[in-house]
Amino acid sequence: MQLARQTKAPELSSSPGDYQIGPEDLLEISVLEAPDLNRTVRVSDDGAISLALLGSIQVAGLSTRQLQAVLEDRLRQTYMKDPQVSVFVQEMRSHPVSVFGAVEKPGVYQIRYAKTLVEVLSMAQGLANDAGDTVIVVRHADGSGDLAVTALLDSRSTAVTDSPVVPIPSTASRTTEEGITVNLKDLLDSSDPRSNVLVYPGDMVKVARAGIVYVVGQVHKPGGFLLKTNENISVLQAIALAEGMTSNAKGKEARIFLAGTNGSPKEVPINLDKILAGKAPSPLLKPDEVLFVPNSGGKEALHALEQSTAGMVGALGGAAIYRW
């Protein structure tokens, strides 16, 4: 009974906004008038810390206030009459959100509580130029999100968000039991808050990359054109997006470059003059394919593109990317 009394956390409830300590968190523990007991400790993988005189203590799942009460109770039963303990989370490691895909700064970010999807994407410095039209939020399987949303809605803590979030059922379509797909256009352009779903500690956020078709050479608007999900466009559409060929274009010697094996692109010759005149079919362009339109002196440029993938990448590296 005495052992159970010593190891049981005091009956101190935590408010929904309290941070819950977890594995890998770094804690700074201070004891007033007993500096020899001050420690900076890392929570172990099994959720425990080890302190001088007090031994091993299970801390995962406790708030900082609860841990303070546990330590004070331990010290009161053993070494001190009226201990006063403070616990500060010096480094968060147990509340990760993984953000990857078409964002400017993919990585693992720590959040104290649930954040909105827009906030999480902002932490990753926003969308990359080649972002597609969907983002997938993969839920943590242990149901911890329910606790996080309670903390978010009840605490209204500024550590979560500067404005209250209303729990409106999401209109985003579920792809699996643990995944939610959100349309980026709805998220960024709509005033409906239901697309701005909550992201909880432990979730993963993946921004899909759009396929890009490149049109380079003698066109009025050379560059890359983002495709919608699972979409191909025809050569005619690509030329229209590039605002047509210039007067110097040699359409009958155009080429489509496809990703080949062994690092060398494959080329398919096409006659754009016949395609534009309706005398030949318009081939489909798939993501990452390149339509090259030479001019009368374009053989040198064409030769450079044919040499290697490095030549291809060099030609496209500075290409502007357009949405349509």
The per-residue pLDDT for range 102-123, each reduced to its tens digit, is 999 999 999 988 899 999 999 9
Structural domains of the chain ordered from first start: 2-91 (3.30.1950.10), 96-209 (3.10.560.10), 212-322 (3.10.560.10)
* Residue position matching structure tokens 């009958």: 252
Both structure tokens of 68? 């303070």
Cα angle 13, 16, 21; round to 5: 75
pTM: 0.65
One-letter amino acid of 20: Q
Mapping DSSP to helix (H, G, I), strand (E, B) and coil, where does residue 58 land?
strand
Average pLDDT over residues 239-263: 86
pLDDT band at 194 (very low <50, low <70, confident <90, very high): confident
% the chain with pLDDT above 70: 73
pLDDT tens digits for range 168-181: 334 444 444 468 99
Mapping DSSP to helix (H, G, I), strand (E, B) and coil, where does residue 241 land?
helix
Average pLDDT over residues 153-160: 34
Concatenate the DSSP letters of all residues of 10-21 into one string: PS----TTSPBP
CA 263/CA 309 separation, integer angstroms: 6
* Residue position matching structure tokens 């396929």: 211
CA 313/CA 319 separation, integer angstroms: 10
β pairing state of 284-285 and 55-58? unpaired
